[in-house]
């Protein structure tokens, strides 16, 4: 594909036709209330379907199974969203965070070991946050002590999404406790089946346990699991965080602008007891118009980020702008959904785990939307990055 208009329209027709034949019929109902085993099996099968079509990792380099232009990626995610295809939830960290890290800072051996395995279904988790090192990631305490040609790791990780299903972990650990906070951290690839690794799901008030704790007790990581240089893990982590804040937003923005807004319009048009329709309220119409305008802006920002990333001209704060914009727009959208859906919406306490944050289960989507102003750096962190790296403002003074 050259990326011309005719080529892109042909590609759009190809993806649309593929979706008609391969998006599982009735998957939302079938996945609602599904067991962990059923969820994992469904996600693995869907990943294999996308992989066979060449749609699983369009953002990867061609030599590793990707190679789509930025314009093609936009079309792909537009059509997957418009055709209500399931999300790749289980593979998300692997195909985005792990791949970005390996491609930016991994050795050739590490890439050859893991990138084909990811395409074959290897699942990854991100082991960054800790009980007292969430937003202040550089304050992490998990330690990695060199012992010959390996490292001995001890500590605890928290909010590790999907850790219960993971094969490998992107791990940050402190290798020099005497160095300044950002200077003594190293980056590792850790096999989750290693002796001393214990995963404990964190069950929330809804009974879900997507988040997990990871306890590390004398876990041995071979030297080949080190990414980059010892004590240079902070720099490597920026590749992971950039992926989390930037390129992943393209798909999420298209899903919010398609399925998310569609569910919202349907909810606003639905008559409630007494015959009231939220759509008949001028205030609701005004909020819908503003949200639609904001979604168009978000999608435009994401497309621009993809194009600039492809051209090598992306700015140091561009990914933070997109992440901040998406997360807060998501919250505003779900807030209106809960408001107009009425009391009946509060009875819906299940949603398909293979959906995003725009499932139409408004209360659950609203609660879930608040996750997005925390992972990958809180909104406050993003604003600091935008101010300092994007606008060149002075750094905030250190706390006394």
Catalytic residues: 244
CA-nearest of 182, 160, 187 to 171 is 187
CA-nearest of 261, 250, 382 to 332 is 261
Do 240 and 100 meet the contact criterion of CB atoms below 8 Å apart? yes
The DSSP result for 332-352, as a single string, is HHHHHHHHHH-GGGGG-----
List, in sequence order, every residue forming a beta bridge with 194; answer none if it has no partner: none
Bridge-based pairing state of the strands 168-174 and 124-127: parallel
CA-nearest of 352, 323, 356 to 32 is 352
The widest CA-to-CA distance across the chain, in whole angstroms, is 74
CA-nearest of 53, 121, 104, 345 to 233 is 104
Chain-centre distance of CA 372, in angstroms? Answer: 9
Token digits of residue 307: 């194009």
Distance CA 339, CA 291 (A): 14
Do 221 and 153 meet the contact criterion of CB atoms below 8 Å apart? yes
Bridge-based pairing state of the strands 143-147 and 212-222: unpaired
Q: What is the CA radius of gyration of the chain?
A: 22
Alpha helices, H only, 83-196: 92, 99-105, 108-119
Distance CA 147, CA 185 (A): 17
CA-nearest of 382, 364, 385 to 373 is 382
- CA 332, 338, 272: angle at the middle one, nearest 5? 135
List, in sequence order, every residue forming a beta bridge with 216; answer none if it has no partner: 155, 197
Distance CA 92, CA 235 (A): 22
């Amino acid at each position: 594909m050259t990326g011309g208009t005719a080529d892109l329209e042909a590609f759009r027709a190809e993806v649309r036709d593929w979706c008609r034949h391969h998006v599982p019929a009735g998957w939302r109902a079938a996945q609602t209330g599904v067991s962990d085993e059923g969820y994992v099996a469904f996600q693995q099968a869907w990943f294999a379907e996308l992989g066979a079509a060449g749609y699983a990792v369009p953002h990867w380099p061609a030599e590793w199974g990707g190679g789509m232009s930025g314009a093609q990626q936009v079309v792909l995610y537009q059509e997957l969203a418009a055709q209500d295809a399931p999300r790749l939830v289980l593979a998300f960290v692997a195909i985005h965070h792990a791949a970005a890290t390996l491609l930016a800072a991994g050795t050739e051996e590490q890439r050859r070991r893991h990138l084909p395995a990811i395409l074959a279904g290897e699942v990854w988790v991100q082991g960054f946050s800790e009980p007292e090192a969430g937003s202040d990631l550089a304050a992490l305490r998990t330690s990695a002590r060199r012992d010959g040609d390996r490292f001995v790791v001890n500590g605890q990780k928290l909010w590790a999404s999907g850790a219960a299903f993971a094969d490998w972990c992107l791990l940050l650990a402190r290798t020099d406790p005497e160095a300044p906070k950002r200077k003594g951290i190293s980056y590792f690839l850790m096999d989750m089946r290693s002796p001393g690794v214990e995963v404990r799901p964190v069950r929330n008030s809804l009974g879900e346990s997507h988040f997990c704790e990871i306890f590390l007790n004398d876990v041995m990581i071979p030297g080949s699991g080190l990414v980059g240089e010892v004590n240079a893990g902070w720099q490597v982590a920026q590749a992971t965080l950039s992926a989390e804040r930037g390129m992943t937003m393209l798909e999420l923005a298209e899903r919010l602008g398609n399925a998310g807004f569609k569910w919202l319009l349907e909810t606003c048009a639905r008559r409630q007891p007494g015959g009231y329709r939220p759509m008949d309220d001028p205030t609701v119409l005004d909020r819908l118009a503003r949200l639609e305008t904001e979604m168009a802006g978000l999608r435009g920002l994401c497309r621009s980020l993809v194009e600039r990333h492809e051209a090598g001209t992306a700015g140091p704060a561009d990914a933070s702008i997109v992440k901040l914009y998406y997360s807060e727009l998501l919250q505003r959208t779900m807030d209106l959904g809960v408001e107009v859906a009425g009391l009946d919406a509060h009875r819906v306490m299940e949603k398909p785990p293979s959906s995003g944050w725009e499932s139409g289960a408004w209360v659950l989507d609203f609660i879930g939307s608040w996750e997005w102003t925390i992972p990958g750096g809180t909104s406050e962190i993003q604003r600091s990055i935008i101010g300092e790296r994007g606008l060149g403002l002075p750094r905030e003074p250190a706390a006394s």
